[in-house]
A and B are shown apart, each in its own frame.
With several copies, the nearest count.
Chain A
């Protein structure tokens, strides 16, 4: 049985280590915050200028001056600090953030990622995605294994415009987990969702990868 959104998020959360500073993208990545392992202290960064994101606010705590990078209202913590956008991306670009979890449309076997535009569709922009994949120490992608039409998303080379080249460290899909030790190594299939076989994954993947399950 493939993993659902929450299970994928929970799997990503297993990569969190005590003391990590983490930036979570919009969508499934946001759910990772609900699965932080016990005893692990993680500080969440929001690229619009905040370290130490709290949960969504109570109705009477809502503050228009306090939003995350998805423009959602949030709350602060006692450890929170605020800063401007230049300082925020100095932090990201400078490699001070330990981990980011992002969604993607396509990932290539070389670790390229495409997640910001589809030619012919209205372009909304890359936001902070290009900065995050270029700067953060470890990049985890969480995405459905296949597109809605059934076509593979982990492929030999991306067909969509890229967000970054050779940047992805780990891919968590609803079917499997792929990982690589460094950016010169190929991805390895290291884990399968319950009831999913390595053959199932192979049938739905065109990227080359090593198998370690």
Chain B
């Protein structure tokens, strides 16, 4: 079975169509599938509905696809400071479904786990609950949220072996873990592809069953949104 592709463009061959739904991993600019986003932009596929916690910033992350007007709808929890996003959103060109961050993560996990709906307290009594079924369990109200299942999931890992077993690094794991499971096919980019047997079988974050196509995207020049430091105490 062919799993490893030479680059992002070939890894997406045959998977793209206008109007498709995607799940895209990452939190802010941390752990985003940069190479695959670039390939999406270059492919020119449009009218995309994208579930992603954030929408990138201008010219970074999913901001690139907003710039090229390929996105019809975002399902996100926070869209930060992005002038082009704001312009498209306010003009009505871009549709946005705001979804609480934990609900978004769980909706993706649920979709990937064959669960079409689940009840949560998050958002009860707020705008988020509008139009949703409310059910009382043991005296408390909960709202019904739907699983998300996309046509294609794009994620970024740290290392993967040739069988597709993948590990993430630090907080770059974030939405990549649940989103990898939430679609018909998942394409992953990693910083290094290693031999089968190089990763500890007890420490795999994402088993190879979810990683149908894999590329090495190195070298990475990872962006930082808010660079904070402290001073070293001088002796």
Q: Please say whether the chains A and B touch (CB closer than 8 A).
A: yes
**Which residues of A are interface residues toward B (Cβ below 8 A)?**
18-19, 21, 41, 43, 45-52, 55-59, 62-68, 70-74, 76, 78-97, 112, 122-131, 134-135, 161-166
Give the number of A-B contacts (CB < 8 Å): 241
Pair A82/B101 contact, Cβ less than 8 Å: no
Known: A73-B227, A92-B102. A86 touches B201 (CB 8 A): no
**A134 neighbours in B (Cβ, 8 Å):** 114, 120-124
Pair B173/A84 contact, Cβ less than 8 Å: yes
**A18 neighbours in B (Cβ, 8 Å):** 1
5 CB contacts below 8 A, A to B, read: A71-B226, A73-B224, A82-B170, A88-B102, A90-B106
Known: A71-B28, A123-B98, A134-B123. A49 touches B171 (CB 8 A): yes
Residue of A nearest to B147 (CB): A94
**B1 neighbours in A (Cβ, 8 Å):** 18-19, 41
**B229 neighbours in A (Cβ, 8 Å):** 56-59, 62, 73
**B78 neighbours in A (Cβ, 8 Å):** 124-127
Pair A65/B170 contact, Cβ less than 8 Å: yes
**B224 neighbours in A (Cβ, 8 Å):** 62, 64, 67, 73
**B209 neighbours in A (Cβ, 8 Å):** 21, 43, 45, 51, 91, 96-97
**B112 neighbours in A (Cβ, 8 Å):** 90, 94, 96
When chains A and B are docked, how far (Å) is the Cα of A51 from the Cα of B208? 9
B207 touches A (CB below 8 Å): yes
Pair A165/B207 contact, Cβ less than 8 Å: no
| Cβ-closest 5 pairs across A and B | A89-B102, A84-B177, A19-B1, A131-B102, A78-B197
Pair B121/A93 contact, Cβ less than 8 Å: yes
Number of interface residues of B (CB under 8 A): 78
Pair B98/A82 contact, Cβ less than 8 Å: no
Pair A125/B102 contact, Cβ less than 8 Å: no
**B165 neighbours in A (Cβ, 8 Å):** 79, 81
When chains A and B are docked, how far (Å) is the Cα of A72 from the Cα of B228? 6
Pair A79/B114 contact, Cβ less than 8 Å: no
From B102, B158, B228, B231, contact of A47 by CB (8 A): B102
| Besides A73-B226, A85-B53, A134-B124, 14 new A-B residue pairs in contact (Cβ under 8 A), listed by A number | A50-B170, A52-B163, A64-B30, A67-B30, A71-B226, A72-B225, A79-B165, A84-B173, A93-B115, A96-B209, A112-B125, A127-B101, A164-B126, A165-B124
